Amino acid sequence: MNLAIEYIQREDLDGAHRLLNQAMKMSPRNSELLRLLGVLSAFKNNRQEALTKFDLAIKLDKKNWLAHTNRGNILKDLQRYDEAMKSYDLAIALQSNYAEVHNNKGNLLQDLREYTAAVACYQKAIDLQPDYADAYENMGNALLNLKRPRDALSSYKKSVSIGSEKSVNIAALIHCKMKLCDWSDVDQLFNSLITISPSNRVKMHPFYLLSFV
């Protein structure tokens, strides 16, 4: 199973699928194996197939909190928001110290435009995992929606300081700074963005981005 996870992390989905199918022949009622097969289906955008596998994993082990989390992610993608929320809440009830499920619940709340509740979820994720760059970025998005751009700026800055190799974090920070007409370090941030994603040089030009402010 660990080798299959390594294959997934390396994005060798066919290799992971082969290993998991072999393992399933020896242990056909293994909840975690079914969950991982569901993850593979999700990576391949086979959402309904993924949901079926997560449901089977939970049927075999109702305490499989990762399966509940994965199920919530799929249901969110399918815009079945009430069911997704129930899955996230079940996962949190089973394992409250898993930062990612709090972050994912926050994303769902943002989709529902419940921004204050979303901020609370992101803060919980950050409390559990202080180096969680995506949670800081997502919190920044929620704070912008709450018309709190200066608080959002702080979140985006933290996101970039942790995950400086991610273009989306830098782009979010630039976008927020431009909203505030804060041009300090913008040139440096643009250069970092171009270094990470040189193919999108035109879309990173300040005048292009200004059209979205």
DSSP output for 138-159: HHHHHHHHTT-HHHHHHHHHHH
pLDDT at 44: 92
Q: Where are the alpha helices (DSSP H) in 13-166?
A: 13-26, 31-43, 47-60, 65-77, 81-94, 99-111, 115-128, 133-145, 149-162
The mean of the pLDDT values for the chain is 89
Q: Where are the alpha helices (DSSP H) in 129-205?
A: 133-145, 149-162, 167-179, 186-196
Phi and psi, residue 168, nearest 5°? -65, -35
pLDDT digits (tens, 9 = 90+) for 53-110: 999 999 999 999 999 999 999 999 999 999 999 999 999 999 999 999 999 999 999 9
- pTM metric for this prediction: 0.85
CATH top-level class of 1-96:
mainly alpha
